Amino acid sequence: MKPLKILLVDDDEIQRIKFKKVCKEIKSSNTVFEAENGENALTLLEDKNKPYDLIISDLNMPRMNGFELLLKLKKNDQYKNIPVVIMSTSNNPLDLKKCFDLGISGYFMKPLKYTEYAKKVISLLEYWGKSEVVY
């Protein structure tokens, strides 16, 4: 599996810690960069020395939410082809539809149980670690 540069966008520090914990437990060689909201994510994306292979974003965040971030990413020629996976607590079918309309590459709900969460994150990392992304 190739190592990925992942931009993790979530305002909840505990969610970011959980994600990194899973990566550590599986001895992942991925590099995870963190942003607390969409505005911070866009700032990190401007650093051309850190091209990202995957963006994983929450939906409900202050300042700039996941929908707004997606819209900006998909309108920007530099970022529009970076795969974006939404990781949210929302099970609203309208949120899911809106995300796919905006061009996400995947969507999964954050399970409450850590073991279920870890399984989903591992599956996500395995899939994108084996995928060929061209942008």
pLDDT single digits (tens) 66-84? 999 999 999 999 999 999 9
Give percent of the chain with pLDDT exceeding 90: 81
Q: What is the three-class DSSP state of 84?
A: strand
Mean pLDDT of 47-66: 90
Which sequence spans correspond to the domains of the chain? 5-127
**What is the pLDDT, as a whole number, of residue 133?**
58
Confidence of residue 55 (pLDDT cuts 50, 70, 90): very high
Going by pLDDT thresholds of 50, 70 and 90, the confidence category of residue 2 is confident
Q: What confidence score (pLDDT) does residue 105 get?
A: 93
Q: Which residues contact 88 (CB under 8 A, 6 or more apart)?
A: 58, 59, 60, 66, 95, 107, 109, 110
According to CATH, the topology of domain 5-127 is Rossmann fold (3.40.50)
Residues 6+ apart with CB under 8 A from 39: 63, 64
- Give the per-residue pLDDT at 132: 65
